[in-house]
Amino acid sequence: MIAILVTFGVLGMVLLTFGERLGRWAFLVAALAPAVSTVWVCAQLPGIVDGRVVSEHLSWVGGLGLAIDLRLDGFAATMTLIVSGIGVLVLLYAASYFSSDAPHLGRLAGLLVLFAGAMVGLVQSDHLLLLYTCWEITSVTSYLLIGNDHTDADARAAALHALLVTSAGGLAMLGGFVLLAAESGTYRLSELADGAVPGGATVTAALVLVLLGAFTKSAQYPFHAWLPGAMAAPTPISAYLHSATMVKAGVYLVARLAPIFAATMVWRPLVLTIGLATLVAGGLRALRQHDLKLLLAFGTVSQLGLMVVLFGAGTPEATTAGWVLLVAHALFKATLFFVVGIIDHQTGTRDIREITPLGPGWRRVEATAAISAASMAGVPLAAGFIAKEEAYGAFAGMPFGGSAVVLAAMVGGSMITFAYGVRFYWGAFVEPRRRARTEGDEAELEPASAPSWRFVAPGVVMAGASVALGVAPQVLDPFASVAVASLHATAEAVHLELWHGFNLALALSVLTLGGGWLLVVFNRRTQSVLATGSAVPTGEAVYLVLLRALAVTSRRVTGIVQNGSLPAYSGVILATAAVLPAAVLLSSWDWPGWPAFGASGDVPIAGLLILAAFGAATARRRFSAAVFLGAAGYAMAGLFVVDGAPDLALTQVAVETLTTVVFVLVLRQLPDRFERQSSSGRRRAVRLGVAGLVGATVFVFAIIAGGSRIAPPVSDEIIARAEPDGHGRNIVNVILVDFRALDTFGEITVLAVASIGAVALARVGRRVAEEGAEEGKEPVVARAEGLNRIVFVDVSVRVIFHAVLMASLWLLFAGHNAPGGGFVGGLLVGSAITLRYIAGGMKDVRGRSRFRPWTVLGAGLLLAALTATFPLLGGGDVLDVASASVTVPLLGTARLSTALVFDTGVYLTVVGMVLMAFEAFGDEPAEAPT
């Protein structure tokens, strides 16, 4: 079963991606998935009729009870057959309906397959959350299918309407499911059906929410308005989604839950009222449509109402009637849509006032339409009649209070159904001929060309089935019995018959046919009475008001929280970061007392830092600001020395040097002075306020946190284990490349990403400039560089360069045991590269190595990654460290461990990053693109 769902998913995705080039053949390919599903279910049928249940279980998150539970019982098999079987026919029909040059056929076919898969999943799922997931997939695919013609504003609006209504209902339903599961302790439908019926206020609320989902999906009053709107979709889509399958999801859910909950207080009044109202009101509106498709759409709304009544009653007899109607409706409604599609396709209209007379080539279509309309109207010898008889029979015995009302409303609704059934056939076939005869202009009209047999065949198949089931309904007995039994465990076997003898049901059927006929005959006189159908208030106005309010609210909220101003964003973030911790600090005030004022070395360094910070903030020139920033950095290095952190001091000095260099490289392109800021005094005050707040919070936090240590630091253990476990004496380095090596790996990844980003940003458009340069602009730059070189700088740099490289290698190699390591070593190489840049510009930097900066960067990252994952081969864990003692001339003895290899990766990444920085900013301004 899961395999079949996967087939739907994969085929759908493939068609979405590659289906365009298949043209309308895509539909034939698409038909494979539902065909497989149909064949599979047919193969299971003998077993299912014997009462067996096919189920599959795939656990996903066991602890949360999340699983894919599929269960094929009699009722699920019915739905699967309808969804898959009609799916095949619709896809075959679509292959004739669309012309090969219509746009987006692959997309349509793919979406239809995905939709069909979701629908199959929905009816087979035994887990409420899985059901919900499939439910929402059908909503989303239906949205895309209705809005297929995305250039049409109406189609877009209709799609949005359908999506908002059905997914809002879906959300309510999800809430209901959660409540239901909380109360009953299970998400499994089968366990829910077998277990004791829970009751109480929670269950009542849950049921109302779940029903809200079912009613929106099945277009019940007052949520029905989206369904007629959804007729904006191409007709094959309407035939499939909005008549035969998706809208039946709500009915399906009602059918599943009714036997369990029908006896609860809220169920029957709610379900039967809504269902009957939908039956009558939808029918009345169908009776007044001129567009054949809209007529069928309102007819569908009405029939869905009847199905909700039948399944919702929760008695085995009514469920039987519902089951027959479900099958019959799928057969006749899809066929009628097919007929409308054919007429629309061949004549160019589906308005019954404009359809041209249809010639002799249309006999098959006409017969198909007549049979299906008869089935819809409930005429004997068609499947719809059996359903109607069963329905009357189910309520004739008055199984519960109010049955008489239900019966009366059903008879009324069925009369209307009969009337609009006749209207459909009459309007499409008879009336155009009569009109042509009376007006006598038949000769002038171009007769519509008859459709090809391939176009008609799918409808003929279903119309044939309608007649077969209408004449010999008893062939369905075994299937119907097991389907009803899968909903009502105690149900007796079903016997469907054309002739039940003289009883109340037959009398009502006669009454229905007679009343319906009168409605047709006295059409004009009854119009004014029937027009009340359109006066019934619907949910459209409410929908529009809600939509408008939602839009206005979201606009206001977005305008405030996303105003597009960077200072506003950072201001909010920083102020929050200051205020929230401050509130916590103040609410649990526990003053540890003032710490020492300061160590002797601290004061001058602190003074220098503060001065440099203010200098950087107030400098008018960009260069001065950068220099002040550099001074602050060196002061930090001094602080690290005083604090016993030689690694940090080394790193800080190297970073500060390189930062200053890069700053200067960029700033030489920017204007020297900051332009006068035109910001108001109020903004300045806000900035100062936030800054003061942040500073104050940090100060208080630092004092309190510093005096609040309650446990010994974890670093005691780190110090103790550094040498035995990490084989290194420089504990900071051991932490970086061994204990916390995964963090370090993450960090060098960030370095790589940031430098790739920098190069990309700075060099966008450069390729174009370089290509232009090849056409004769290049020599200018080369000459300029040649002239700028100074001999003694050049020579001394060449000497120093290699010495610095050796030093960096020593730092890398010795870093495990003495101050140093990959980061510092790499940064030192960066300094050496800076020297070369000063001497010879970018040309010299690039000339140092055959490797491009990104190659070095990637090699470093790759080396680190390989070292990290290497132990996996031997069955170890990621980043396990192995080591051996090695003596290298000049560099001394070290325990050479894989940590060193990892550190080499870090080293290379940092070197790559510095090279990337020069690649980004190093070119002379003349070379830069303008």
Among 35, 160, 518, 585, binds other proteins (CB under 8 A): 160
Q: Which of residues 212-251 bind other proteins (CB under 8 A)?
A: 225, 228-229, 232
Minimum CB separation of residue 927 from other proteins in Å reads 13
Q: Which of residues 36-65 bind other proteins (CB under 8 A)?
A: none
Given the complex with other proteins, which of 453 and 674 has the nearer CB atom? 674
Among 587, 588, 677, 680, binds other proteins (CB under 8 A): 677
- Residue 489 burial class via C-beta count within 10 angstroms: exposed 0-12, middle 13-18, buried 19 and up: exposed
Q: Which of residues 551-590 bind other proteins (CB under 8 A)?
A: 551-552, 554-555, 558-559, 562-567, 570-571, 574
Q: Which element (helix H / strand E) includes 61?
A: strand 54-61
Among 917, 922, 923, 927, binds other proteins (CB under 8 A): 917
Among 755, 867, 898, 904, binds other proteins (CB under 8 A): 755
Nearest-angstrom CA–CA distance, 173 and 190: 18
Minimum CB separation of residue 49 from other proteins in Å reads 45
Minimum CB separation of residue 619 from other proteins in Å reads 9
- Residue 887 burial class via C-beta count within 10 angstroms: exposed 0-12, middle 13-18, buried 19 and up: exposed
Nearest-angstrom CA–CA distance, 447 and 736: 85
DSSP, residue by residue, 260-321: HHTTSTTHHHHHHHHHHHHHHHHHHHHTT-SBHHHHHHHHHHHHHHHHHHHHHH--HHHHHH
Q: Which of residues 762-781 bind other proteins (CB under 8 A)?
A: 762, 764
Q: Are 296 and 337 in contact (CB under 8 A)?
A: yes
Neighbours of 840 (CB within 10 A): 21
Residue at token pair 């309308």: 24
Strand pairing report for 66-72 and 54-61: antiparallel
Q: Which of residues 445-504 bind other proteins (CB under 8 A)?
A: none
- Residue span binding other proteins (CB under 8 A) among the ranges 307-315, 393-401, 463-471, 549-557: 549-557
Minimum CB separation of residue 810 from other proteins in Å reads 16
State the angle between helix axes of 316-347 and 292-313 in degrees (0 to 180), rounded to the nearest 10: 170
- Residue span binding other proteins (CB under 8 A) among the ranges 319-327, 479-487, 687-695, 878-886: 687-695
Minimum CB separation of residue 347 from other proteins in Å reads 18
Q: Are 470 and 499 in contact (CB under 8 A)?
A: no
Count of residues that interact with other proteins, criterion CB under 8 A: 145
Any residues with CB less than 8 A from the CB of 458 and at least 6 apart, and which?
89, 90, 92, 93, 338
Question: Which token pair is 702?
Answer: 């630092």
Given the complex with other proteins, which of 54 and 160 has the nearer CB atom? 160
Given the complex with other proteins, which of 545 and 583 has the nearer CB atom? 545
CA distances in angstroms from 9 to 15, 33, 100, 121, 630, listed in the order given = 10, 9, 24, 11, 58
Per CB under 8 A, 702 contacts other proteins: yes
Nearest-angstrom CA–CA distance, 731 and 718: 8
- Residue span binding other proteins (CB under 8 A) among the ranges 40-48, 251-259, 480-488, 550-558: 550-558
Q: Which of residues 269-308 bind other proteins (CB under 8 A)?
A: 285, 288-291
Among 28, 703, 809, 865, binds other proteins (CB under 8 A): 703
Minimum CB separation of residue 662 from other proteins in Å reads 6
- Residue span binding other proteins (CB under 8 A) among the ranges 428-436, 446-454, 609-617, 768-776: 609-617
Among 182, 265, 468, 754, binds other proteins (CB under 8 A): 754
Among 2, 51, 154, 789, binds other proteins (CB under 8 A): 154
Minimum CB separation of residue 93 from other proteins in Å reads 25
Residue at token pair 């012309």: 99
Torsional class of 185: left (φ above 0), alpha (ψ -120 to 50), beta (otherwise)? left
Given the complex with other proteins, which of 43 and 566 has the nearer CB atom? 566
Q: Which of residues 301-360 bind other proteins (CB under 8 A)?
A: none
Minimum CB separation of residue 758 from other proteins in Å reads 4
Site string for other proteins, 726-745 (x = CB under 8 A): ---xxxx--xx---x--xx-
Q: Are 700 and 582 in contact (CB under 8 A)?
A: yes
- Residue span binding other proteins (CB under 8 A) among the ranges 78-86, 619-627, 780-788, 864-872: 619-627
- Residue span binding other proteins (CB under 8 A) among the ranges 58-66, 411-419, 421-429, 709-717: 709-717
Given the complex with other proteins, which of 519 and 736 has the nearer CB atom? 736
Residue 761 CA from chain centroid, whole number: 31
Per CB under 8 A, 725 contacts other proteins: no
Per CB under 8 A, 621 contacts other proteins: no
Given the complex with other proteins, which of 503 and 715 has the nearer CB atom? 715
Minimum CB separation of residue 531 from other proteins in Å reads 8
Q: Are 512 and 415 in contact (CB under 8 A)?
A: yes
Minimum CB separation of residue 571 from other proteins in Å reads 5
Sign of CA dihedral 920, 926, 927, 930: positive
Site string for other proteins, 656-675 (x = CB under 8 A): --xx--xx--xx-xxx--xx
Nearest-angstrom CA–CA distance, 163 and 447: 40
Sign of CA dihedral 9, 14, 20, 21: negative
- The residue ranges of DSSP E strands in 451-593, in sequence order, are none
Question: Which token pair is 519?
Answer: 């409605």
Given the complex with other proteins, which of 509 and 904 has the nearer CB atom? 904
Q: Are 302 and 282 in contact (CB under 8 A)?
A: yes
Given the complex with other proteins, which of 510 and 547 has the nearer CB atom? 547
- Residue 397 burial class via C-beta count within 10 angstroms: exposed 0-12, middle 13-18, buried 19 and up: exposed
Nearest-angstrom CA–CA distance, 133 and 127: 10
CA distances in angstroms from 659 to 631, 654, 713, 928, listed in the order given = 12, 9, 33, 21
Minimum CB separation of residue 567 from other proteins in Å reads 5
Minimum CB separation of residue 178 from other proteins in Å reads 31
Minimum CB separation of residue 667 from other proteins in Å reads 7
Given the complex with other proteins, which of 497 and 743 has the nearer CB atom? 743
Minimum CB separation of residue 579 from other proteins in Å reads 13
Q: Which of residues 625-654 bind other proteins (CB under 8 A)?
A: 625-626, 629, 632-633, 636, 639-640, 643-648, 651-652
Given the complex with other proteins, which of 588 and 677 has the nearer CB atom? 677
Torsional class of 921: left (φ above 0), alpha (ψ -120 to 50), beta (otherwise)? alpha
Nearest-angstrom CA–CA distance, 413 and 178: 36
Q: Which of residues 822-861 bind other proteins (CB under 8 A)?
A: 823, 827
Given the complex with other proteins, which of 359 and 746 has the nearer CB atom? 746
Nearest-angstrom CA–CA distance, 443 and 436: 9
Given the complex with other proteins, which of 141 and 817 has the nearer CB atom? 817
Nearest-angstrom CA–CA distance, 211 and 176: 9
Given the complex with other proteins, which of 161 and 188 has the nearer CB atom? 161
Partners of 893 in the beta sheet? 887
